Amino acid sequence: MATFVLIHGGGDSGWSWHLLEAELRARGHETVAPDLPSDRPSAGLGEYVDAVVEAVGERQDLVIVGHSYGAFTAPLVADRLRADVLVLLAGMIPEPGERPDDWWERTGCIQARDAAGLSAIEDPFESFYHDVPRELAEEAMRRERAEHSRAGGEPWPLTAWPDMPTKFIVCKDDHFFPPEFFRDLARKRLGVTPDEIGGGHCVALSRPQVLAELLVGYLRPSGYRNREE
């Protein structure tokens, strides 16, 4: 049994994982999906990490999953807790010293979105939730929280990527981040060929069963070390 630590993206909350949590628990695993303090102006990346670490408590055999903007927090949590596997789901892969606010320009994401015609999509039901059932998408929108923290202006504090198996998942039907952009970024910044899943940016809501199967697959020996071995 593993514990999947699920870190939400910008403007979101732990609720966004609830369907995936049910799938993972049905497969015999534990889950932790805290709310980050992103609506607190005084909170920085350190406070984000503290919130997750407190929620994890003494649990071990950890798989840390960071979605989208949560990719700035997930490696910090994984490094502190000595996680077994780190997974970025359509994640904004940071580099040492890089501020989240600068990531868009430094990675070429803005230009990639423009070239793919995604910058012109203003309706969140199309950019984020196009493949999520409407009622569920409306509930997700209702639960959104504004990003008011100082985290976006802070340099990413690690000097190197955490020394552990790292996986990257591209959402093939993402209408917010171009899939090809992430394929290229994962190779450049992580040196990995990403795995791919059908579905849009919020695949944890649109295809939780398929995502759960992919995540559980990372528990095999090639991607996961059991502390009892």
In a domain? residue 20: yes
The pTM (predicted TM-score) of the whole model is: 0.95
pLDDT (0 to 100) of residue 148: 85
Tens of pLDDT, residues 106-117: 999 999 999 999
pLDDT at 25 over 80: yes
pLDDT category at 149 given cuts 50, 70, 90 is confident
CA angle at 117 for the pair 131 and 108, rounded to the nearest 5°: 105
The position carrying tokens 């807790």 is 81
Across the range 134-145, mean pLDDT stands at 96
What domain range includes position 188?
3-217
In a domain? residue 228: no
pLDDT at 223 over 60: no
In a domain? residue 37: yes
pLDDT (0 to 100) of residue 229: 33
pLDDT at 225 over 70: no
In a domain? residue 226: no
Q: What is the DSSP string of 122-186?
A: --HHHHT-TTS-HHHHHHHHHT-----SSGGGSPP--SS--SS-EEEEEETT-SSS-HHHHHHHH
CATH of the domain at 163: 3.40.50.1820
Q: CA separation (Å) from 155 to 87, 99, 136, 158?
A: 21, 4, 35, 9
In a domain? residue 43: yes
pLDDT at 132 over 80: yes
In a domain? residue 152: yes
The per-residue pLDDT of the chain, averaged, comes to 95
pLDDT (0 to 100) of residue 146: 84
- Number of domains composing the chain: 1
pLDDT (0 to 100) of residue 221: 59
In a domain? residue 176: yes
pLDDT (0 to 100) of residue 147: 84
Across the range 21-27, mean pLDDT stands at 98
In a domain? residue 229: no
Spatial contact of 104 and 176, defined as CB atoms under 8 Å apart: no
